[in-house]
Structure 1
């Protein structure tokens, strides 16, 4: 395997990107032409991609390439960058075959923005400067303004010095795409290639990026590949590919009039969009009915209400057991001393299939706790060596400790090479994905078992090894320090009790009894929801908001989703609901 990898690395590419040979024209107009081009990928020699392709793109025009997947659109983009050479035919720039032009000069005059922008783990400014060697800061700022990226960059904490993280993990999709556009524009290219630059973005980000692309296309020869045909309606020319050939060409209106392949593509997308909108309308309608019936609190024989009531009953039944265990605001707290042992038994019983991981985690926590007293031995040895009168003894001891540190470093270095490389190449194991798992799933596990067990193992590792070393080196001092350990344990236990009391009290505030919450909702004024955002916000305010003395975070975030004119009304409804809850409590008591 290693020999095969070495052979691949030493194999010379048929196209040398570092070659200094070839023409470097003084001027570039931007006329592109493909003449009877045939092409197959080396890895799939039996599948012919382009079959006599003929295409002409006049300088300064925006030409869109459309067609089904696998028809050769992206292949044309790669041929223009000369990642491959055609098997037959010519790809020409201003009438000159690309094989006669210096490849580095060619790529310096061609800007490319792909579907998934590639950003390096450095600053925003450095990523943009990679577009052209020697680019000045003024040129970078100008490119960012043309790419509609300057404003959001200046809102960053460090501006252009903000680190984007691995593969741009610290930025959103729209922000990464605009930085990629700025990187393409900083070289001021005569030719701009857009390979599905907006297909991976949401609607809002797509509109912003599309505006930046429209700016960038002005005065340049632009080739666009897009599956969303709504983004290429204004192109100067639309070229339709099918089975490796050009089958249709013209403006949007001309192609729609012909009712050919392009017409079918547009019609199919309209049907898909219509179905999505229909489903969205049905979902919004259900949410609309849910909030109206919940807010009104009326008993009717309406079939729609029966549907809502049935779903509500199922939810109530599912949460009934949990509701009985929740304490009220006034008291009735469960005896934590009785719950804790039972909870731990259940957790360990559920963790039985993964006992090996529990064991390894416990050992790791114990070892982590033992690291501090173990390091104290090394530190003490170093200090003692310097205190020794003999210079030779000092050198020998320092050499021994230095070799120990180097050995640990070398072992750590080689451990990286023993890892499974394929695991790190998997897109599901990228830094952002793993960080998300650690932030969310690890937190959920800690929420179930809390961190007390891990802290306990860490504590025993620290205290245990510390006491052993203390008795070995000075048992008198160990007895003095050991006398304070029971006091520390009592303090930790008191802190744990207080923490549990606060958690249960907060839980009783956030989750009230279902009937009490129902009374709060019934006291809310009926308010028709005009759109799905308002319905969702009111549903959160009505169904999730608990009756407490302070406004929950979920209600505050819901207010941000509605129009400013409705915020005051919804806020008033929250106050009325809270007031109604307090009145209901007084009556119940």
Structure 2
């Protein structure tokens, strides 16, 4: 029995007794599989081409599978991140990450608290100086003025030293944190599946942007910002304590304005975070587009797609500019409100203080305190 097979896949005729290879209606060569492969003719070329296609299909299948596995792992990672956010604060996690540099944090916090306390001590000294002018004796006035001038000189020296130490320690802490975050982030990127790199959001430009921008953003939050927050909290805490000691009525007025400032600041931080997320996404898109066009510049030139890439780039820049304008206008409005709030607070405080002085509820020097 003779069986004639017209093959679409060469693997189905490897065991045939005779294989005829035709091209343009003519028989080019014939023989069994081993004979035709040894000739390295048209059959050999067809076999090699099909093997390459099979390898390519296998590679694509592996990439699809790795992408699926990476997607499943990404879902698990997101669930883990959500559970960790419920149980742990990101700020505490960052501090634990730099626990080996605890001395930077400790001395920086102490310097910040001292620096914030000096502002309150300055208010006390100022009230004492104003009270000196009630004395009629010039010698007593001179003696007290010289004494408080020395105190002010000492306070200025202490403030300069503590401010220097505060900036120094928190700058060193931020630099160490940035170095550690970049190395750990890069190590995590290298440990990902191949399919993770096939996603559009994980292109080369986007990953480079994350390595450069995200760590700097974390340093901005945890570096000098910690010192500024501690300095403000120290001054606020000591000021409120002294306020309740000398005049609790005025302290309650201050607390009311502080709550209003807190609401304004919280809304400002929330809207700023939303805008920053949008800007971060656009910056990643700009980086991806730039690297894609430069790496494939020959293809771009051959297809004459320069104008298309320029239009896409200009469109992304236009969106970035629009977001920046929104942020600047909002920041200017918030800045104007907070700066004018100081004058509203002073006007309210002096009005309430004058009313209390008329009723002999407080003394004049307690207002400055």
The TM-score with structure 2 as length reference comes to 0.40
The TM-score with structure 1 as length reference comes to 0.27
Greater relative CO (CA pairs within 8 A, separation 6+) = 2
When Rg is computed on C-alpha atoms for both structures, the one with the higher figure is 2
Between structures 1 and 2, the one with greater strand share: 1
Between structures 1 and 2, the one with greater helix share: 2
